[in-house]
């Protein structure tokens, strides 16, 4: 990359020097042709650089989109597991509610006189026999660990995006200014002039 940059700067200096020499030694009729050719060459170089920039950013976008899809798919699987656990918890709550209702009925039956107590006892007992208490499914430590991993990934992603936002503009600005122009935060290039492009 350094060799390419060196070549580009050398090429630019040579082109500028040739233009100066040619303008001095060429007849007036050929000078506009030389200027036009120089402009065409510079336009082609600018177009090639534009294509490189677009290509690099497209690759970056594609990488980011692929990573986003991967993380969202993994998180979606985790959400599905959490929803399944939630459904089991809801079902367990319903079972407990039904059992509490049955216990209430049994306690009320126990308070009745003996003649009323024995009426419809079969129905109540059959409902008691059907009621099985499902065991609650404990929340998996693996699930908690995976959620913690996603939290750490999100933090790292946030830091990376912030660092990218902070460094890219200043890196691009430094490259466009060149090494000879010092940078001041308030005024861009030294002396309050905008950086030369």
* Percent share of the chain, pLDDT over 70: 63
- The mean pLDDT of 44-71, rounded to a whole number, is 90
Count the alpha carbons within 13 Å of 124 in the hemisphere toward its beta carbon.
16
Residue 188 has pLDDT above 50, yes or no: no
Residue 77 has pLDDT above 90, yes or no: no
Domain residue ranges of the chain, discontinuous segments joined by +: 2-137, 139-168
Please provide the DSSP assignment of 58-109 as one string: HHHHHHHHHHHHHHHHHHHHHHHHHHHHHHHHHHHHHHHHHHHHHHHHHHHH
pLDDT of residue 121: 67
pLDDT of residue 55: 92
Give the Cα separation of 189 and 193 in Å (integer): 6
pLDDT of residue 25: 62
Model pTM?
0.50
Give the Cα separation of 30 and 167 in Å (integer): 46
Residue, of 37 and 21, whose pLDDT is higher? 37
Average predicted confidence (pLDDT) for the chain: 75
pLDDT of residue 157: 86
* Structure confidence by residue, pLDDT tens digits, 162-180: 888 888 887 777 777 655 4
CA angle 125, 127, 132 (to 5 degrees): 110
CA angle 78, 81, 84 (to 5 degrees): 150
* Structure confidence by residue, pLDDT tens digits, 123-139: 766 766 665 555 666 67
Give the Cα separation of 33 and 30 in Å (integer): 5
For residue 183, what is the enclosing H or E element?
strand 183-184
């Amino acid at each position: 990359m350094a060799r390419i940059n060196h070549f580009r700067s050398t090429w630019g200096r040579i082109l500028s020097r040739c233009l100066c020499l040619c303008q001095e030694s060429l007849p007036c009729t050929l000078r506009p042709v030389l200027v036009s050719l120089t402009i065409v060459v510079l336009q082609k170089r600018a177009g090639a650089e534009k294509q490189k920039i677009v290509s690099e950013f497209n690759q970056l976008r594609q990488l980011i989109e692929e990573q986003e899809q991967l993380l969202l798919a993994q998180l979606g699987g985790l959400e599905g597991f959490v929803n399944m656990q939630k459904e089991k918890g809801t079902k367990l709550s319903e079972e407990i509610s039904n059992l509490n209702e049955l216990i209430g009925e049994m306690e009320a039956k126990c308070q009745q006189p003996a003649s009323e107590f024995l009426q419809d006892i079969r129905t109540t007992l059959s409902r008691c026999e059907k009621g099985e208490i499902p065991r609650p499914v404990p929340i998996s430590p693996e699930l908690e660990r995976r959620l913690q991993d996603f939290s750490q990934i999100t933090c790292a992603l946030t830091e990376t995006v912030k660092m990218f936002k902070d460094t890219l503009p200043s890196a691009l600005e430094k490259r466009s200014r060149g090494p000879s122009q010092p940078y001041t935060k308030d005024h861009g290039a030294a002396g309050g002039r905008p950086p030369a492009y």
